[in-house]
Amino acid sequence: MTKLAQDLELAHALIEDKEKIREYYSLFDRIWPFTTINMKQELAPFDLENKKCITIQGSSDHIFELFLKHPSQIIGIDTNPLTEYLYYLKNAAFAVLETREDFLKFFRWHDYPKFCKNNHQVFDKDIFQEIEKYLIGDAKIFWQELFDCHSSIEIRKNLFNEYDETNDRALYQALNYLSEENYQYIRENRNKINFAFKNIDIRNLNEELTENCDFIILSNIILYAHYMYKENHLEEFKSLIELLSQRVNNGGNIVVGYLYDIENENDARDIYSRKIRDSIFYEPEYRYFYFQKMHDLHCDRKTNNHDTCLVYTKK
């Protein structure tokens, strides 16, 4: 069976809500439609012009955010093969959807618009027929088959993870590419994105990389370290960072993890214990970038707490 056939089998199973066998990260079989993190602040400290970047693929929002910082190449990695197809759908949508409002109207489902619960114009098939003109190769076959076999709402509800879908207001604040100016910039330059995808578990990434890079961003994967490792979760995650650092050029950075609401020590995960955290990730190799928690974003507790990024720098 080809990779495309396998990916379509998984997509149909999710849309039809069939039981899917996957031992690791079953939560991530579905795609996150948009970010749940404040990418503006997450990427603000870094100069990435002409740098080679690797990022967790997820919603693909990191790809467009990184592109605005003019890297030489962006490699997306994810255990979920379906995330690659979302990137190509979003990229093609820029060619058709003239405004950021149109873009969100096509992709958003939950909590949209403000006056009702859901957006029943999501993945409008007439609009998709225009978007598919800009899709090529396997991505075109993938989305054509899904739109031929399922309703728009079935695709959007069941292929994507509705958990913590962020509202429009938060997305405008969290994403640079959704400013009016940047949205038009990407529309005009989307074909210049030097993008490649690797369907891979990050625990094996070091073995798969054939060249060094300058920047790796692991999003919020550290929050799931207790799923990735049976014991010594953070110690094992740090060992992973040490392996990956061998593939980072001197002066390069790894964003080890995005941590929501860092002062919230009611969270039972080890990463939220300052004592444990500081005993494992310590200066000068590791440092924290703090910024005010954004209301309306993930885990909004209506506090004045902070989100933070834990960053490793290769000396």
How many whole angstroms separate alpha carbon 315 and alpha carbon 313?
6
Look up residue 175 and give its two tokens. Answer: 């994403």
* Residue 27 predicted with pLDDT over 70: no
pLDDT in tens, 147-202: 999 999 999 999 998 766 778 888 999 999 999 999 999 999 999 999 999 999 99
Look up residue 195 and give its two tokens. Answer: 């993008």
Which residue shows structure tokens 């995960």?
269
How many whole angstroms separate alpha carbon 173 and alpha carbon 76?
23
Cα 209 to the chain's mean position, in Å? 20
* Residue 24 predicted with pLDDT over 60: no
Give the closest residue to 294 by CA, choosing from 302, 282, 285: 302
Q: What is the mean pLDDT of the segment spanning 28-32?
A: 86
Q: Which of 138-147, 158-167, 240-249, 257-266 has the lowest mean pLDDT?
A: 158-167
Sorted by sequence, the CB contacts under 8 Å of residue 197 that are 6+ apart come out as 57, 75, 76, 77, 78, 83, 84, 87
Give the closest residue to 52 by CA, choosing from 65, 66, 41, 40: 66
| Residue 26: pLDDT band with limits 50, 70, 90 | low
Give the closest residue to 87 by CA, choosing from 49, 28, 34, 48: 34
How many whole angstroms separate alpha carbon 187 and alpha carbon 178?
11
* Residue 221 predicted with pLDDT over 70: yes
* Residue 203 predicted with pLDDT over 80: yes
271 or 24, which is more confident: 271
What single letter denotes the amino acid at residue 281? F
How many whole angstroms separate alpha carbon 74 and alpha carbon 168?
26
Look up residue 151 and give its two tokens. Answer: 């309703």
Positions of E strands within 30-163: 52-56, 73-78
Structural contact between residues 35 and 164, judged by C-beta atoms closer than 8 angstroms: no
| Residue 25: pLDDT band with limits 50, 70, 90 | very low
- For the chain, the structural domain boundaries read 3-313
Please state, rounded to an integer, the average pLDDT across all residues of the chain. Answer: 92
Q: Does domain 3-313 have CATH number 3.40.50.150?
A: yes
Which residue shows structure tokens 């919603």?
59
Give the closest residue to 8 by CA, choosing from 135, 196, 142: 142
* Residue 104 predicted with pLDDT over 60: yes
Structural contact between residues 69 and 49, judged by C-beta atoms closer than 8 angstroms: yes
